[in-house]
Amino acid sequence: MKLEQNSVKKSSKDHSICKEPFSEPELTFQEMKAVLESSPSGIGIIKDRVLGWTNDVFCSMLGYERNSLKEVSTRCLYADQKEYDRVGLELYSKLDKQGKGIVETTLVKKNGNLIDCMIKVSRLNTQDPSKDFIFVINDISGLKQLQVQAHQAEKMEAIGLLAGGVSHDFNNILMGIQGHLSLLLLDLSAKQKITTHAKHISRLVETASELTKRLLGFARGGKYQISTLNLNQLSASNLDIFKPTRKDIIIHESYDENLLPVDADPFQLEQVFLNLLANASHAITESGDIFVTTQNIMINEDHDYPFEVKPGPYVKLTIKDTGTGMDLGTQKKIFDPFFSTKEIGNNKGRGLGLSTVYGIIKNHAGFILVDSEKGKGASFHICLPASRNTFTKSIKKESQSFEHMQEGSETVLLVDDNESAINIGKKFLETLGYKPIIAKNGLEAVEIFRSCKDEISLVVLDLIMPIMDGKQAFSEIKNIRSDAKILISTGRAVDENIEGFLNQGCHGFIQKPFSLKTFAKTLRKILDKE
């Protein structure tokens, strides 16, 4: 807007400049339309979830011709009714409370492809709720991909920390196994000594199996498997892994003996714990201390947290370090997906992003707080709702003698491509009285089963094999005889693939490594079932 000369006056005393008030001219209809059409975001009018006017960006974003979506229900933009209902419920709920709504969702383009979107909606007339709504929609698929990559990078650093501690523990386990074997071989005539060494080796194998399960839990990604946990035990077991990685850091532990349990995914919380430990160790540039504490807290209705929290009993886990600390500006950014205080080419500082930690805790209905000052370290407080379930610590029983093991006489088809697994499995079966038939891949197993289908009572099937894998062999065997009893035996953890087998006629699952006693019990449980 061009100002007239008399619209600006200068004071002779203070030389300050003041402007006379003026009114901005209103945009014409054509100018307003040009603004809406040139916007990089999809914009439109909607009423009762039926589209009215939309700009060209909205149509092209979803692969439709110009004006082709007018008077069309938005249901066609969603993959299923469930997501359509969720988005509507969330948006209208926020509109009623706040006058505007925002939600993330996935929409279906005309060609069937999916795009991640952020939708913002507000009323055209705040005084009249019956009027139309205006919406703004942005394609955030690229941002989502970057977030996935950032989360994966965070996870890889946590896995690196885990792997360092696990390798240390595995070497100690292998040393123990090698030591007992060496002592056992010195004198094979002393039965009592052989039994003692064998029990020690068995316990070491169980410990190694637990470490492997941790790595498998990390590999499972974002799939949650909830169980009732004690955070004292989770913290202590993870610190055992962390301690060997930084000998210059002193760990101080203080646990509430009467700590309430929580309902959570143990592997996801393990990632949270290791991420926070990694951050603390990065902040301690030389030697220092890390304090780990747990306690029960009660959040009342009149709490003073600056965000929405459901009142009730919570369990609080605090990890405090004596590192470099953070100023207030840094604290406000640390949970952003791509924020890091680690400079390029610099290994010092708090380098691991905390957005993954924030996301996991939020998904568990909890929250996380941070206290820090520059040069005075940092404290991270994780608060999770206490569980109503009772936590029971599993007690391992002594192995039963062979006389108490369940035996059999049936024919069992053992399918595995690993020579060690075949040798041990065959000896296990023969020891228990079964008649083993061996197949080294899925194709060989199918051919044997086809020719001996009436003789074979049970198939023990590995999943990952050459030529034909276990999944295809499972289907082929079921096609030959639909009531064939199949036991899946693999080193993988239970996931949706194995659960799928169990729902498709598989009779059981046993995870490697397993003992003779466990194998015997599992075989009889399946074979004796009508």
262-280 pLDDT, tens digit each: 998 887 888 788 888 888 8
* CA-wise closest residue to 384 among 301, 268, 302: 268
**Max Cα distance, the chain (Å):** 115
Whether the pLDDT of residue 16 is over 50: the answer is: no
pLDDT at 153: 61
**pLDDT by residue (tens digit) across 312-342?**
999 999 999 998 888 887 777 676 654 555 5
**Phi-psi category of residue 221: left, alpha or beta, with phi > 0 → left and psi -120 to 50 → alpha:** left
Alpha-carbon distance of 384 to 42, in angstroms, equals 39
pLDDT at 502: 64
What's the N-to-C CA distance of the chain in angstroms? 89
Alpha-carbon distance of 370 to 317, in angstroms, equals 12
Query: Concatenated DSSP letters for 323-387?
Result: S----HHHHTTTTSTT---PPTT---S--S--HHHHHHHHHTT-EEEEEE-TTS-EEEEEEEEBP
Alpha-carbon distance of 165 to 208, in angstroms, equals 13
Considering just the CA atoms, what is the radius of gyration of the chain in Å? 32
Segment of 151-155, 173-177, 393-397, 451-455 carrying the highest mean pLDDT: 451-455
pLDDT at 4: 36
| Helix intervals (H) in 39-140 | 56-61, 81-98
**pLDDT by residue (tens digit) across 102-133?**
889 999 999 999 999 999 998 887 777 677 88
- Counting residues of the chain whose pLDDT is more than 70, the rounded percentage is 74
**pLDDT by residue (tens digit) across 61-113?**
999 998 889 899 999 999 999 999 999 888 888 888 777 888 899 999 999 99
Q: What is the mean pLDDT of the chain?
A: 78
Alpha-carbon distance of 319 to 273, in angstroms, equals 9
pLDDT at 148: 67
pLDDT at 17: 40
* CA-wise closest residue to 290 among 324, 245, 231, 250: 250
What does residue 35 show for φ and ψ, rounded to 5 degrees?
-65, -45
Alpha-carbon distance of 241 to 215, in angstroms, equals 12
Alpha-carbon distance of 69 to 51, in angstroms, equals 7
Question: Which contiguous run of DSSP H or E holds residue 144?
Answer: helix 141-186
Whether the pLDDT of residue 380 is over 60: the answer is: yes
pLDDT at 347: 39
From the DSSP assignment, how many helices (H) and strands (E) are in the chain?
A: 14, 19
- Position 18 confidence tier, pLDDT thresholds 50, 70, 90: very low
The neighbour count for residue 511, using CB atoms within 10 Å, is: 18
pLDDT at 492: 64
- Position 396 confidence tier, pLDDT thresholds 50, 70, 90: very low
**Phi-psi category of residue 380: left, alpha or beta, with phi > 0 → left and psi -120 to 50 → alpha:** beta
- Position 24 confidence tier, pLDDT thresholds 50, 70, 90: low
pLDDT at 452: 92
The neighbour count for residue 161, using CB atoms within 10 Å, is: 21
Owner of token pair 């924030």: 358
Whether the pLDDT of residue 519 is over 80: the answer is: yes
Owner of token pair 């990952």: 464
The pTM for the full model equals 0.47
Alpha-carbon distance of 198 to 175, in angstroms, equals 15
Cis? peptide before 513, omega within 30° of 0: yes
Contact 256, 296 (CB under 8 A): yes
pLDDT at 518: 84
**pLDDT by residue (tens digit) across 129-144?**
677 888 999 998 887 7
Return the HEC string of 403-440.
HHCCCCCCEEEEECCCHHHHHHHHHHHHHCCCEEEEEC
